[in-house]
Amino acid sequence: MATRVTPLVPLGEEPGDAALQQPPWRKAARLSSVADAAEGFLARAGFDRGPWLAVALAGGIAAWFALPSAGWWVATMAAGLIVALGALALWRGQEGRSNLVIACVGTGLLVAFGVALIWARSELVGAEPIERPGSMVVAGQVLERIEQPADDRIRLVLATRERTGRAIKVRVNLPLEQDDSRLREGAVVRLKARLMPPAPPMLPGGYDFARAAWFEGYAATGSVQGPVEILQPAKGAPFLAPLQRRLSEHVRAQLGGSPGAIAAAFASGDRGSISEADEQAMRDAGLTHLLSISGLHVSAVIAGAYFLAITLFALWPWLTLRVRLPLVAAGIGALAGIGYTLLTGAEVPTVRSCVGAVLVLGALALGREPLSLRMLAVGAIFVLLLWPESLAGPSFELSFAAVIAIIALHASRPARAFLAPREEAWLTRLGRHAAMLLLTGLVIEIALMPIVLFHFHRAGIYGAFANVVVIPLVTFGSMPLIALALVLDLVGLGAPVWWLAGKSLELMLWIAHVAAAQPGAVRLMPQMGWGTFALFVAGGLWLALWRGRARLWGFAPAVLATALLLTTPAPDLLIAGDGRNVAIVAPDSRLLLLRDSRSEFTRHNFKELAGVEAEPLALAQWPGAECNADFCSLTLHRAGRDWRLLMSRSRYQVDAAVLAQACARADIVVSDRWLPRTCLPKQLNADGKLLARTGGLSVVLSAPPRVATVASSEGEHGWWRARQ
């Protein structure tokens, strides 16, 4: 007969309770199995620490921008440190845990460091804006002169002092007819200017000039009123800025009109002469990246210098037998790239491209793989350490996303197999490379579209096809011709080459205007939020940085983000932060403006953020609107019900009892002034008091109304805190 053995139970515990408890060794085993699985995944998916460490640094910087307050920033840094220390405590010294330890420790430390880096940068360079707009006499030294002949103005950046004695930096616009050749860097001037604090976004999702000005150190911007008095001419002015201007003027003198403006941008980085029509066509055709000195231009200059140097040196037998020509040519190419970067203003894409190109030259000289994600990671870390705020701008995001897409595509196994050398006719080989060029353009367009939609709310559809023609045209035609023409100008023989360069640029502009004019060439998507954008970025990075089947998981966040983007409704009502400018999307999808603003900037913002291409119409001219000198009212049918809107048009005093009755009948009231407490609409009272706290509003008329505010995306960052 079998004997039943009852397990011993510690005193004070029930057998059932003991059975439910897991011993420590079992918990440790379960944690170890999770670690084993994670380590195996990292090994199978091709974990490359360099790119992911750059992503971690960028993630910390992005977290600072996205999170609202100092408490969140400190908590993020603490969480990063806890992850790093926890990984060290759990797995340091354990065999087979190297990838996991590096991933956890590196990610935790760099996320924490990224938050601290951008926070410190904000506190060090951020400039408190002036308190209120006003006209004042400014005396100071010219720090920078920015020529913008296309807008009939010159911009001067001045170092001056407030009445309180605080040293500040201001930027003022000077009409072109008042320009003086003595107004250059180093001159001391006195002028009267209308100054105002840098403006926050007019609407949710709009351009945040206050943030850009904060990191540029601008306390105010404005326009000159009256003549400029030069107190002291410039002495020992910088060398590069005047050289850049002289080069730009020389190029424009050789090529007139739009081709000359584009050629000046290629040669010197000066985009001030490009007309708005040409810039808009380039943007809608997906070619605007050509106007910003970046990878294409720097690579062309460095490649030209490299191959020219190695070809000329190869003709000298004595040198060929004694030195490694690739090393010498790489040095000359690097010097050419650095000089071109400095000459064109050392903008973020140019610096990134220069760093990457110098690394490529080093790899070529040493016989290593020249183009890799590690090289790109070094460039990204270099730029972020110097200008961490650039992460939030479209320039950084577009340039790095394009290069990541190119490297990831060409490093993939199918692409390598497709481009592998083989015995075939030259025409077939040319067709394969042309097909790969088209595919590369499509991949770049897909990679860049979320970024363009997030920042500009519009994206060109035909960009991939336009780029297939225009990029080779610029790389192997326009830029070499411009360089050759500049060299020949030294002996007065550049005119024929300038003519050829002009024709190539005319062809490029023709392609841009034709592509932009096609039906459906531009897609407006005004409603992408931070969360949707983060999903797109996460999906794209996952697809690019892993190998094998693991990378396919990157499609999950990308598909989810696409679904969110397509199902998020466009706003029905847009209210600017001043309360004066209001736009309503009419039933026929036209845009109705409360005030017929003369500001092209205001009209453009309303059209862009409402997703409406047609020209706006004054609300008073709309048949369904009821307007008098003081107020306008309108009824809209949305979400299965009628919404009554009441908006003020003047600042004249209105009888309080009459106003209270009108407010009670309205669902939403909008005013640029503070309305009395007796004004109680059914849903929202967007008066001056509320808008001072929230900034501009974007309203979707649903049940209940969905209201987005500028303040919700600004948090307690310095540029918004100073405004409040």
Of residues 318 and 252, more confidently modeled: 252
Q: Give the model confidence (pLDDT) of 618-628 as tens digits.
A: 888 888 888 88
Tell me whether residue 317 is exposed, middle or buried, using C-beta atoms within 10 angstroms of its C-beta: 0 to 12, 13 to 18, 19 or more. Answer: exposed
pLDDT at 194: 93
What DSSP string describes 150-205?
A: GGTEEEEEEEEE-TT--EEEEEEEEEGGG--TT-STT-EEEEEEEEEPPP--SSTT
pLDDT greater than 50 at residue 14? no
Crossing angle of helices 348-366 and 325-343, in 10° steps, is: 180
Pairing between β-strand 684-686 and β-strand 522-524 as defined by DSSP bridges:
unpaired
* DSSP string for 320-358: HTTS-HHHHHHHHHHHHHHHHHHHTT--HHHHHHHHHHH
Q: Would strands 153-161 and 134-148 be described as parallel, antiparallel, or unpaired? A: antiparallel
Instruction: Output the 3-class SS for 467-492.
Output: HHHHHHHHHHHHHHHHHHHHHHHHHC
Query: Tell me, what's the pLDDT at 8?
Result: 45
* Parallel/antiparallel/unpaired status of strands 167-175 and 218-224: parallel
In terms of DSSP bridges, do strands 573-575 and 697-700 run parallel, antiparallel, or are they unpaired?
A: antiparallel
What DSSP element (H or E) covers 648? Answer: strand 641-648
**SS3 of residue 137 by DSSP:** strand
pLDDT band at 239 (very low <50, low <70, confident <90, very high): low
Kindly state the DSSP code that residue 579 receives in the 8-state scheme. Answer: S
Tokens of 41: 């995944």
Q: What are phi and psi of 354, to 5 degrees?
A: -65, -45
Instruction: Look over the chain and give the mean of its residue pLDDT values, rounded to a whole number.
Output: 83
pTM of the model: 0.84
Of 69-73, 205-209, 351-355, 371-375, where does mean pLDDT reach its minimum? 351-355
For residue 678, the 8-state DSSP code is: T
Give the C-alpha separation, 647 to 624, whole Å: 14
Chain mean position to CA 272 = 20
> What is the rounded average pLDDT of the residues 623-639?
88
Give how far the C-alpha of residue 56 lies from the chain's centroid of Cα atoms, to the nearest Å. 18
Q: Of the segments 276-290, 439-453, 654-668, which one has the largest average pLDDT value? A: 654-668
At 272 the pLDDT is 78
Instruction: Give me the residue label for tokens 């990308």.
Output: 558
For residue 499, give every residue at least 6 positions away whose Cβ sits within 8 Å of its Cβ, in sequence order, or none: none
The two three-digit tokens of residue 719, written as one number: 């540029």
Mean pLDDT to the nearest integer, 107-131: 93
Distance of CA 661 to the CA centre of its chain: 47
The phi, psi pair for 160, rounded to 5°, reads -145, -170
Residues 219/222/227/232 CA torsion (nearest 10 deg): 20
| Residue-wise pLDDT tens digits, 327-370 | 788 788 888 878 777 776 666 667 767 777 777 777 766 666 66
Asked if residue 10 has a cis previous peptide bond (ω within 30° of 0), the answer is no
Q: How far apart are CA 51 and CA 543, in angstroms?
A: 13
Q: What is the pLDDT of residues 679-707, one digit of tens each?
A: 999 999 999 999 999 999 999 998 788 99
